[in-house]
Structure 1
């Protein structure tokens, strides 16, 4: 296991980048590149059931924001190969107060689309657990923490996730991509 040196959290406070990540097709494209590696707009379109023109457009938007990059040595003519760009592994969403009021709806859409994706994954969990419980784990809990303890807990969670999630090129050959989600909010509010 290669341990990554501590990385500073990257605040995703650029509204254009947030908007790029709030689009469902772009999220699917990024997920595809994360899981399956480099691809063309044609292969992505086939996999996602989208037209090549649609995937090409969204790939260009992701490239503009620095989330993906072309692989020049694999590209030829009209066929362009894309991969995830080297980016911070600890990207965090801003709080509403860290954005201008006019940009806050983009943050809300970013979260809405992300939680829709999470709900769909949650629906897949029981079948994944039946198929192979060694590769499907779940946890639920109720904790009591101060604001400071909660911030420390979240930072420790991210550090643990980074420790056991090397970049794809550094992962052992038998490593599998896993969906990992964590959310927490006060239990004493409606």
Structure 2
């Protein structure tokens, strides 16, 4: 029997996409994923936001199933949150697969994600100098058919899932890592805008 968390989740619900298209929510989710449970106060201090603001964004993430409260740790007004058990392979639809009225939400989701990726890329040189065993980069060039490229992508995702662990099952010495794969056609003109 296959674990449901290993099946891809298509984020084709515009409301769920909208929940993840907010920069603060993405940073909160990233923090919970990398560092484990936190309160809205803790997240507010880390992100420079008021507790009311972080509480609102946490409720939005909870509403769409990305995080959950930890009732056994929560007391009174202090609520503890953790990343919910969601599929590890989360994908977005293409613009052709989504209703035209919802394409702006998908575009915003990608824009916010690419801003996040740019910040990570800016951090790479310092991370590499500090600890090259944990900062790896690769640039490649290949010629593939569309079918081969689709297979390459699926094998990449399978490899990523095979070697990644949840925080509670990670072996000693495991660290959270940001991993990105970018691929785009090399035979199209660069957009200079």
The TM-score range, normalised by the shorter chain, is over 0.9
Q: Which residue of 2 aligns with 1:70?
A: 69
Question: Would you say how many aligned residue pairs link Structure 1 and Structure 2?
Answer: 187
RMSD of aligned Cα (Å): 1.3
- Distance of aligned partners of 1:14 and 1:42 in 2 relative to their CA distance in 1, 3 Å threshold: same
Q: TM-score, normalised by structure 1?
A: 0.96
Aligned position for 2:155:
156
Deviation at 1:7, TM superposition (A): 2.3
Structure 1 runs not aligned, ≥5 long: none
User: For 1:32 and 1:5, how far apart are their aligned partners in 2?
Assistant: 24
| Structure 2: gaps (5+ residues) | none
Structure of higher RCO (CA pairs closer than 8 Å, 6+ residues apart): 1
Q: Which residue of 1 aligns with 2:94?
A: 95
The CA distance in 2 between the partners of 1:166 and 1:36, in whole Å, is 13
TM-score normalised per structure 2: 0.94
Q: What does 1:1-190 correspond to in 2, within 5 Å?
A: 7-190=6-189
Indicate if the aligned counterparts of 2:5 and 2:87 stay in contact, CA closer than 8 A: no
Moved over 3 A (4+): none
Q: How far apart are the structure 2 equivalents of 1:181 and 1:132? A: 18
Question: Residue 25 of structure 2 contacts residue 57 of structure 2 at CA under 8 Å; is this kept in 1?
Answer: yes
Shift of residue 65, structure 1, vs aligned partner:
0.4
Tell me how far apart the structure 2 counterparts of residues 7 and 179 of structure 1 sit (CA, whole Å): 19
